[in-house]
Amino acid sequence: MTLSYASGVSVTPLLGDTIGANLDRTVAAFADREALVDMASGRRWTYDQFAADVDAVALGLRDLGVTKGDRVGIWAPNCAEWMLVQYATAKLGAILVNINPAYRVHELEFVLNQAGIRTLVAAPRFKTSDYAAMIEEVRPRCAALTDVILIGTGAWDALVEAGRAGDRHLLHGIGEGLGADDPINIQYTSGTTGFPKGATLSHHNILNNGFFVGELCGYDEEDRVCVPVPFYHCFGMVMGNLAATSHGACIVIPAPAFDPKAALDAVAAERCTSLYGVPTMFIAVLNEPSADTLDLSSLRTGIMAGSPCPVEVMKQVIDRLGMSEVAICYGMTETSPVSTQTRAGDSLDRRVSTVGTVMPHLEIKVIDPETGVTVPRGTPGEFCTRGYSVMLGYWEEPDKTAEAIDAARWMHTGDLAVMDDEGYVNITGRIKDMVIRGGENVYPREIEEFLYTHPDIVDAQVIGVPDEKYGEELMAWVRLREGAPELTAETLREFCQGRLAHFKIPRYVHVVDEFPMTVTGKIRKVQMRAEAVEILGLGDAAAQRHA
């Protein structure tokens, strides 16, 4: 009997340096090669130019008093400045706190206070959100916040100019005082108890994960990686930015937010070799008319991740976009993020129907969730991972950290998985109730807590239901107070609008007198999901095959 355990062997050693030192090494090797292209603004940087601007931003932040361990928030869509701040904070040893561009006022306020953000770099606005006004609204209630720098304004220009006038050699001295295991990044994951938790990651965590993702994609200085996925996720800033810069490759930002036409235009214009996306993005790209008319022959590889990957979509990405070496990755923010990845040499069936095998230098196992014992291969259980990628912990939440990471440093993902005889993994479901909607992790408890504030709702349960476009959509089952007016999906959406991030607003509403319960009084969400498929006629979406 072979157990569901695997370790990733590699002849390539782990990187032991900091993000700043690694960037300096890449710049020394590839100074004149392109590092970054920002399509929306028409700007581009060689590695030498990129390093100069990173150092200017770092010295500008230092002039504001930012030092090692200080939290610097970044609240902006994808843009060159986001990337400059990412590397500048790493050079100072400051901790970059990623803030979701979809956040509303109460979510922004929570993150600013929970992380103790000292300096906030933000876009003035994005889409319909007036970031500047939202920041001013919460600022009196955020004691730690001393500086707000809005990108594209005089404050940003002054920061950069002050940094340009500084002495870049100072950064070498600062760098010598930084360690690879220092915390460098906080990313918030939706909270099971109503509030997000800040996964705290080190240089060692994310630099190595980005590097080995790039290794398995075969990156070198000739590659040009189109990144339409958000930088505030690990997908963008680790699997994208750090995978590229650790190999001397170029990052191409097609647009501030995902736009299928912009992504395809960027691939064609910049001769990109790699394209990233969650399944919904690739579906949109495949449905874009220009997918069949543009010259996309430069594409070789790419990554599909973020939520279960439909087999048919994966096949089309290979056939129509020419991404013959496209990979599926699986992981979570708390593991920097990737634990398994398909390889270019895997058979087509393996690459379209599994999430691959263990990453180099990591361990994975599938356990019985009740006993903690590793199950035989072919038996479903909870997926766990251990190694360099496991986060330092949840920011200032040791109890929550202990719930996720056991005494032997195994991260318990809450995902149900099966490992086959060759070590390939399939993700079959979740122990937790987490819903993954178009690559966004959503915890129903957070939405349920919010729905309780509705004057007519006495009880609410939120579940994920199958969706052909987003993988999963949100459905709220609610009990109403006696005499309450009819509640529809539309009226509930109006109640949530502007108070919840758009991806947390339920698409479907089902009013009930009582919820399905176990004999011990627990809500039976499994039964609710099965009933919802029937009620909503989602049989086709439920039948889709995923990796």
DSSP string for residues in 508-527: EEEE-SS--B-TTS-B-HHH
Tokens of 10: 């590699």
Check pLDDT > 70 for residue 300: yes
- Kindly report the CATH number that applies to the domain delimited by 48-179: 3.40.50.980
Give the domain ranges of the chain: 48-179, 435-542
pLDDT tens across 514-538, in order? 888 765 566 888 889 999 999 999 9
Which segment of 57-66, 78-87, 139-148, 466-475 scores lowest on mean pLDDT? 466-475
Q: Where are the beta strands (DSSP E) in 212-351?
A: 224-226, 250-253, 274-277, 301-304, 327-331, 338-341
pLDDT tens across 123-181, in order? 999 999 999 999 999 999 999 999 999 999 999 999 999 999 999 999 999 999 999 99
Mean pLDDT of 402-421: 95
Per-range mean pLDDT, top range of 357-361, 444-448, 468-472: 357-361
Mean pLDDT of 92-101: 97
CA dihedral over 16, 303, 367, 7, signed as positive or negative: negative
Check pLDDT > 90 for residue 428: no
Question: What is the model's pLDDT at position 192?
Answer: 40
Q: Please state which architecture CATH assigns to domain 435-542.
A: 2-Layer Sandwich (3.30)
Question: What is the model's pLDDT at position 193?
Answer: 45
Contact (Cβ atoms closer than 8 angstroms) between residue 274 and residue 301 = yes
Q: What proportion of the chain, given as a percentage, has pLDDT over 90?
A: 82
Sheet holding 471-480, edge to edge: 457-467, 471-480, 508-511
Which segment of 164-173, 287-296, 433-442 scores lowest on mean pLDDT? 433-442
* C-alpha separations of 148 from 90, 125, 130, 233 in Å: 19, 14, 14, 22
Per DSSP, the three-state class of 44 is: strand
